Each structure stands twice: as structure tokens, then as C-alpha cells.
Structure 1
Amino acid sequence: MNRSVICSLLLLIFACARPVPEATGSYNTIYIFADQPVRERVENVLASVYDKTIRTPQEEKVFTLSWANLDSLGRLSTAKNLIFLAELSGGGKTSLWVVSSLDTVARRRVAQGRDWIFVKHDVYARGQIAIYLIAPTSTELASNILINAKMLYNLVDSSINERVKKYLYSPGFGERERVDIEKKLAKQWGFTLRVPGFYSLEKFDTNFVWIRALKPERWVFVYFETTDDKSLNTKYWLEKRNYVGAQYYEGDIILDSTLTLEESTIDNERALKFSGLWFNPESYLGGPFVSYLFYKTEQKRKYIVDCALFAPIVRKEPYLRHLNIIAQTFTTKTEHH
């Protein structure tokens, strides 16, 4: 099958409007329900979809896959991320249960290869994503997963970002959102970020702003230059990133050998996204970073929005996710401020 249709209206099981509890457990764990024959055919393919690591400098897995049978759904029903795998003609308990939840139209579309993925939020718990992957056979299911690997990864990853963002800016997560800093950024520099309550405005200059939180230490800075040059490249970014490190961070440098680059977007602009490790040769301290380079035509500015973290001992991926969420709130649309 060459396309996928995300559909959430055809599963009859979703019609129940009963109150549900809050989702529990780790954002990084995905529970996968499948009959043994389906698991044997699909396990390696699905693992390749979610087998992503980040260097912090230790390798940390973004997701942990935990396989389960349908009998354990009762105790796992409030988990944050669930995936159900089913064969349309399968005789296993999971396949029979999932397929029995399809109406006639949905079954026909799955049989024809027109639909195979069904997504629903808050089915068994609030703040949960449940993904149902169904195909006529496990071979076709494995093929669909392989073809749509990026989409499947982004479904879970984006859902987690949305849920974490909600909590990151809620009063219950800490102090109230720093609207005072957001207004200052908008008024003085012509851009803004959403600033969580436990961040402070650490340092600023004509074209540089640094917000920071402690325990563990993490920060976001914005650096910009006014220019007609719209080009985006690694050489420019590395030169400016090391300049900022020397100017404001006591000589921090980027370890070139750890650098990775991918295409991204920020504030509806094409961006280069850099990831890797920063290091201070004087203190021998370092940690992971994520950085965006992009151009805003209406301002004639080239921006770097950069997130970094110093958090020895603790797991760093959750904090990097927080930082990346903050970076993605960058905007030059400041009218409401």
C-alpha cells in the first residue's frame, strides 16, 4: 500500500463516552499488544521505527517498547502510549478483539488496503494516544509499517510533545508562565518565546537573549544578525555558535565530531536543526544541545535558537524534550504581547 489514512471514527469501541482517569507511567514507554504470530512477523520492523537514540554524551533511547498480550490490558489501560496490532483474518485474541470493533465499512476498507491505521486520543485515559494497526495479513502489516515509518514515529513523538507542552505551561507544573519576560522579549527584540514559570531572564544584549532554569541547569538562547543573506549552512552556524560560546558561556565550544544535521521548521520557516555535544575546555564540563538556524524575511534577520543542558547523572532526554518545546514556541508575531 502506497498511502495511509489516519481514521478514528470507524472503531465502534470508541463510542463509549464514559469518564476516564488520567494517564499514568512514562512518556517514553510504548506498550504494544499483539498475538504471538503477529509479533514474530512485525517485531523487528516496529523496533526499527522507534529505535532512536540521542547522545547526551551517553546514548539514551527515546522510546522503550514493551510487548504485552491482551490479558494485561486491564492493568496497562492507563499507560500513555498504546499500539495494537491485528490481522484482519487472524484467529488470535488480540486480532479478534480489534477486528470485532470495526464496523462493516471499516473492515471492507482494511480488506481493500485503503485503511490500516486508526488513531484515537484519551480512549482509556486522559493524556493517552492509542494506535490500532490492522491489515489483512501480518506480512502486509509489516510492509505498511516499514513504508510509513516516519509518520508512525512522528505520531507518537508529536503526541508526547503536545501533552508535555500542556503540563510545561500549566500552573500545576511550577510557577505561572513568565508573561513578563515574554512581553519584554516582544517589545525589546521583536520576537518572543513562551517561557515556563521556573525560567528567568539570565542575560541579554543587543542581539542576544538567554533564559535559564536550574536543577538541572538548562537554557535557551536566541542570537540574531541583520543581513540580506538568506543562506543557511553549517559553516555559518558553527562560527556563530562558537562565537556565542566564547562571548557569553566562558568558552563553550561545539564538538564537531558529534554534530548531526536535519531539516526542520520553526515559526513556519525552513530551518536547519543541529544536534550534538557542547564542551567547555577549561572546566571539562559539557552536555547535549539542539539548535535551529533560520531566516525571517520580514525582519531581514538570521536567527539561531539554541537549547542546551548540563545534567550529570540524570536522564537527559526528558529535559531536552522540554527545551525543544520551548524553542518551537519562538515567533516574531508579537502583536498579542
Structure 2
Amino acid sequence: MKKNRIRILLLIVLFIALYACSKGPSPKKSTSDHRKPLSWGQTHRIFTYADDKAWAYGQLEIKKSLEREFFTTTNERLFEVERHDIHKIHTYYKFANLLFLCDVSSNKPVSKYVKEIIPEQVAAVNDTMPATMIAVKDLWARDQRVIFILGKDLEQLLLYTFENLNPIFDIYKEAEYKRLENNVYKLGLNEEEIAYEKEHYPWYLELPMQYRLFRRKVSGGFVSYLCRVKNYPDRFLAVYWEPMEDNQVSKEWLFDKRVMMGEKYYMGDTLYTKDVRQEKADFLGYQAYKLSGRWQNPGNFTGGAFACWGFYDETQKIAYMIDNSVFFPEGNKLRALIGLEIISKTFHTLNKN
């Protein structure tokens, strides 16, 4: 009876997920099912269920992809993959990230469990479609992502999994970014500061309530905001802009402006080339340059992580730099940087002619 209820629930959730995707929800409005309890556990953990052979042959590739590293001041992982016992699924089924690997030809515990709860989807796996993936949002809890990978045999299961590790990572990453966005904006917007931006600047950001003014020099084309919460990273978001008749933005321009900003407004912060990654990037459709890595303050013997983008708006004839930086000596910085990037990508230009 319980498994029948789970099958019905899964079909309903799949329908709702497809319907929600077609509606195009507002980026500031949560699309989670608030009738369900909030998912449990730390959201960096991916609880993985696989039978012994699938795990033995697949774990290295799965971990290498899903535990990929991002450089801040050290190498940090967005996710950690943990294999768990399917017999204890009742303990973990409401956790944020779940991954099931099912060999349809097997009656081992994990494969048997998956075949029992989603028999219609399993029945579709055959010689014509030897493997598939089913990703479900909010199956057993709110803000949850559950992925089932089905293969008609062990070989097809592993082959399909290895070929789709990037899409699998992207599903969990997108879900984590959405959780972080919901957290960033849970207190609402700083309407007063946004109104000031719209009146005095050629741009505005959808600034969250908890971000307050840190430095402002309108005549110099600079403003910086700070979010400071006890036991969490200090997060700084800055925007620099200058008139520019022709596009002179380059990686050298961006590096020089970031060094200037640190020295002038951040009490002597600086960058060293060996600690910085330089690359071309897309930023809201602009052909941008990006710097990321470690900033340092030699005078204060401090440092932290940062990312910044430089780009040129042809219509406005203005060059911009948007900078995100984090100070948190005692802990990880990756999720703080992601939260800052989410805010930065609410950037809008204003036509004041």
C-alpha cells in the first residue's frame, strides 16, 4: 500500500514539475511545493543508492564529476557524494539530494526498490531505449531533487551514467543555486537603496534587505555593499563604472581596476597574478572578462576569495566592473560567492536620456 502511494505521488510530482517549467516563474518567487515539509540535511551532500557492482564500477567517475572542485582560497567542492544503505531509505528519503542507480535486469536491493516505486518508467526501458534518467523536484520534501538513472543492464546503466554526469551535476547545481537564491532574498529587497540606485546611477541591482551601504562615491563611479552576519562570511558587492566612448575593456583593464578599487576603497587590498584566474565569460549577454581567486591585504595580513566581471555597454557608452568578495578565514567561501553572483546577475542598466 505504501509503495502504491509513492507511485501515485511520483506521477503527480512529475506532472506538476512539467507544468511548472512551462509557466516561467518569477526568479524571486519560490516554485517549491510549500505543502510539503522542508527537505532535511546539509544541501552539499548527495545521498547515493547503488547496488554493489554498480557502485564498485561507477563510484570513481561519479565522484570525480559530482565532487568537482572550485578554487576560492583553497579548492572547495559544491557537493559530496555519499553511498547509503537502501534498507535505511526511510531515514533519508526527505534529504535534499538523492541519486538512485537502477539495473533493470537485477533484483539486488536498490534496483528492486526503484522498480517497485516507479514500475511504469522502468517498463519503458528496453532495447529501443536501453537507459534513461528521471529527475524529480520535491518528490518527498520541499526543495528536494531526486534523480533515478535506469539501465536495462549494468553496462547500459554505467554507460548512460558516465555520459550524463555533466547534466546530472547541473540538475543538483541548479537546485542548490535556487536554494541559495531563496535564502538570499528571504528577507525581501532593500527598496530604499534600490530607489537611490535608480535615481543616481545608470544602473540598479535587486539588492537584498540584509545588504547595507559600505562605501559610496558617485562622482567616482563606485558603490559597495556589505552583508555581515555573525558566524557567516562577510560578503562585499561592489559596482564600478566609467564613461568610455569606445570599448577598451580587457583582462588588463579589469585587473588594473580591481587593484585600484582594493587599494582605494578596501584599505589596501590587492591581487597577485599567481593567485588569480583570468578568462572570458558571458555576463547577462555581455561579452565580459572574469577574474577570480584570492585577494590579499599585506598590511593587515588578511585575505579572502573574490570574483569580478568587466564588460562594456555599447548603448550607454559605459564600462562596468562588478565585484564580489568574501572574508571568512575560518570557513568555506564558495556558497557565499555563489550568493553574491546571484545578486550581481540582477544587474540592469537604465536609459536616462
The answer to whether 1:169 aligns with 2:189 is: no
Q: Which residue of 2 aligns with 1:211?
A: 225
Q: Which residue of 2 aligns with 1:309?
A: 326
Q: What is the DSSP-based 3-state SS (H/G/I as helix, E as strand, rest coil) of the residue aligned with 1:197?
A: coil
Whole-Å separation in 2 of the counterparts to 1:76 and 1:31: 8
The answer to whether 1:138 aligns with 2:134 is: no
Q: What is the DSSP-based 3-state SS (H/G/I as helix, E as strand, rest coil) of the residue aligned with 1:254?
A: coil
Q: Which residue of 2 aligns with 1:291?
A: 308
The partner residue of 2:348 within 308, 331, 334 is 331
Alignment-mate amino acid for residue 212 of structure 1 = L
Q: Which residue of 1 aligns with 2:87?
A: 71
Shift of 1:180: 1.1
Describe how 1:13-32 pairs up with structure 2 within 5 A.
Answer: 14-15=10-11, 19-32=35-48
Mapped contact 2:130–2:151 kept (Cα < 8 A): no
Once the two structures are aligned, what percentage of the paired residues are identical? Answer: 22
The partner residue of 1:38 within 54, 59, 62 is 54
Q: What is the DSSP-based 3-state SS (H/G/I as helix, E as strand, rest coil) of the residue aligned with 1:253?
A: coil
Q: What is the DSSP-based 3-state SS (H/G/I as helix, E as strand, rest coil) of the residue aligned with 2:204?
A: coil
Q: Which residue of 2 aligns with 1:187?
A: 199
Q: What is the DSSP-based 3-state SS (H/G/I as helix, E as strand, rest coil) of the residue aligned with 1:247?
A: helix
The partner residue of 2:211 within 169, 194, 199 is 199
Alignment-mate amino acid for residue 47 of structure 1 = K
Shift of 1:262: 4.8
Q: Does the C-alpha gap of structure 1 residues 109 and 268 become closer, same or farther in structure 2, counting only changes over 3 Å?
A: farther
How does the TM-score come out when normalised to structure 1?
0.86
Q: What is the DSSP-based 3-state SS (H/G/I as helix, E as strand, rest coil) of the residue aligned with 1:95?
A: helix
The answer to whether 1:237 aligns with 2:237 is: no
**Deviations along 1:23-57, whole A, 9 cap, x unmatched?**
12112111111111111121111111122233442
Q: Which residue of 2 aligns with 1:275?
A: 292
Mapped contact 1:42–1:138 kept (Cα < 8 A): no
The answer to whether 1:178 aligns with 2:190 is: yes
Alignment: residue pair count: 321
Q: What is the DSSP-based 3-state SS (H/G/I as helix, E as strand, rest coil) of the residue aligned with 2:348?
A: coil
Whole-Å separation in 1 of the counterparts to 2:213 and 2:91: 44
Q: What is the DSSP-based 3-state SS (H/G/I as helix, E as strand, rest coil) of the residue aligned with 1:30?
A: strand
The partner residue of 1:258 within 266, 275, 288 is 275
Q: Which residue of 2 aligns with 1:52?
A: 68
Identify unmatched segments of 5+ residues in structure 2.
Answer: 1-6, 14-32
Whole-Å separation in 2 of the counterparts to 1:101 and 1:233: 54
**Deviations along 1:217-259, whole A, 9 cap, x unmatched?**
2200011232244465322211111111122112211121122
Q: Does the C-alpha gap of structure 1 residues 115 and 231 become closer, same or farther in structure 2, counting only changes over 3 Å?
A: farther
Alignment-mate amino acid for residue 182 of structure 1 = I
Q: Which residue of 1 aligns with 2:317?
A: 300
Q: Does the C-alpha gap of structure 1 residues 12 and 269 become closer, same or farther in structure 2, counting only changes over 3 Å?
A: farther
Q: Does the C-alpha gap of structure 1 residues 192 and 69 become closer, same or farther in structure 2, counting only changes over 3 Å?
A: same
Q: Which residue of 2 aligns with 1:97?
A: 113
Alignment-mate amino acid for residue 191 of structure 1 = W
Alignment-mate amino acid for residue 170 of structure 2 = N
Q: Which residue of 2 aligns with 1:126?
A: 142
Whole-Å separation in 1 of the counterparts to 2:121 and 2:75: 45
The partner residue of 2:169 within 140, 150, 153 is 153
Q: Which residue of 1 aligns with 2:266?
A: 249
Q: Does the C-alpha gap of structure 1 residues 104 and 125 become closer, same or farther in structure 2, counting only changes over 3 Å?
A: closer
Shift of 1:111: 4.3
Shift of 1:156: 1.0
Alignment-mate amino acid for residue 210 of structure 1 = S
Shift of 1:100: 3.9
**Deviations along 1:174-203, whole A, 9 cap, x unmatched?**
xx4211111211221122222222211122
Q: Does the C-alpha gap of structure 1 residues 261 and 132 become closer, same or farther in structure 2, counting only changes over 3 Å?
A: farther
Identify unmatched segments of 5+ residues in structure 1.
Answer: 1-10
Q: What is the DSSP-based 3-state SS (H/G/I as helix, E as strand, rest coil) of the residue aligned with 1:116?
A: strand
Q: What is the DSSP-based 3-state SS (H/G/I as helix, E as strand, rest coil) of the residue aligned with 1:271?
A: strand
